[in-house]
A = this chain, B = another copy of it.
Amino acid sequence: MAKTLRDAGEQAVVRRLVALSESSRATPVMDDCAVIRAGGKHLVLTTDILAASTHFPEGAGPELIGWHSAAVTFSDVAAMGARPLGLLLALSMPHDTEVKIVEGVMRGAKLCADSCGSHIVGGDTKEGKEFVACTSALGIVESGRPLMRSGCRKGDMLCHTGKIGRAALWQLRGKRSLVEPMLRFQPRVGEGMALQALGATSCIDLSDGLALSTHYLAEASGVGFGIDLDVMGFHEGLRRGEKEKALYLGGDYELLFTVPRAKAHAAIEELMALGTEAHVIGEAKGKGVMAEAEGKARKLPKDGYEHFKS
């Protein structure tokens, strides 16, 4: 039987894309964005594609779909510590789609771009069988280098912004009232830029969940991590058993980052000054990813959300 995407999983397909994108100018795509040097600056470039049937629960209106489509892409720019320069919005949809639905999607994307200090610079609209939105963004790092997954060094502190588990809450309980808070998240653009400026060493967004994202940082940087689950900033609504599950569920789009130990306090303060809480949850040490809770340490499995396999 032929091997399908469901058999292979997203990571295998992404690895094929990476293998195709070997180049001297661009950094391969295992980071949240591609990095391109131009005009003496580091530019970052990223794209996300979302089909309504797969990615949006019932009850998600056009404006919410537009916001979320833009937000996932700005989140990738944020994870690189870059300032977004513009968003492209491409829509494929049936010809009997109502114009007001399209306008709602565009309005939502524009509101999100505004909230990130950016704007829609272009797009495309074409006919297809189902509603699909593809957003792409360009960003720039004015000074220094973008935040990569690979920059963490032994002894750096591991931190995350905001709360973990807002998306898990919907995935675990399926309540309609949880859809809007999950999809209308605020990309951490200002936070990413601040972390880049103050010398954070690596960063990734939590789109794939905390466990998988931590493993990605560990592998890219060639370090291990020890995490203290007792100090993590879990969403208040999560029950005890749900917190454990939330580690393996994606969709939170907070930033997971590392800073040199001497800068950890300053980083948390600076994020707080932006109105965003942040938590020091661990340290780069040892091998693999170890998690400690209530005094007991164990390996944190490399599990999380992977497309096609779920």
Could you tell me which A residues sit within 8 Å of B by CB distance? 2-8, 10, 12-14, 16-17, 20-23, 25-26, 29, 33-34, 36, 38-41, 43, 45-51, 53-55, 85-86, 88-100, 102-103, 106-107, 110, 119-130, 132, 134, 136, 138, 140, 307-308
Contact check, B92 vs A51: say whether CB atoms are below 8 A apart. Answer: yes
Question: A184: shortest Cβ distance to chain B, in Å?
Answer: 18
> Which residue of chain B is the closest to A97 with respect to CB atoms?
B5
Do A123 and B47 touch across chains, with their CB atoms under 8 A apart? yes
CA distance in complex: A13, B25 (Å): 36
A51 to B99: give the CA distance in the assembly, Å: 19
A55 contact set on B, CB distance < 8 A: 126
Contact B40 A39 (CB under 8 A): yes
Q: Provide the residues of chain B in CB contact with A33, threshold 8 Å.
A: 122
| Contact B54 A127, beta carbon cutoff 8 Å | yes
Chosen A-B contacts, 18 in total, with CB atoms closer than 8 Å, are: A5-B96, A6-B96, A17-B120, A29-B123, A36-B86, A38-B43, A39-B39, A43-B43, A45-B122, A46-B88, A48-B90, A49-B91, A51-B127, A53-B129, A54-B127, A125-B307, A127-B307, A129-B130
- CA gap between A67 and B294 in the complex, in Å: 55
Inter-chain contact A96/B4, CB cutoff 8 Å: yes
Cα distance A90–B122 in the bound complex, in angstroms: 17
**Chain B residues positioned under 8 Å from A8 (CB to CB):** 99
Q: Give A47 to B12 CA distance when docked, in angstroms.
A: 25
**Most B Cβ at <10 Å: residue of A40, A46, A48, A123:** A123
Given A17-B120, A54-B128, A128-B132, do A49 and B90 touch, yes or no (CB 8 Å)?
A: yes
Are B138 and A13 closer than 8 Å at their CB atoms? Answer: no
B5–A132 contact, CB under 8 A? no
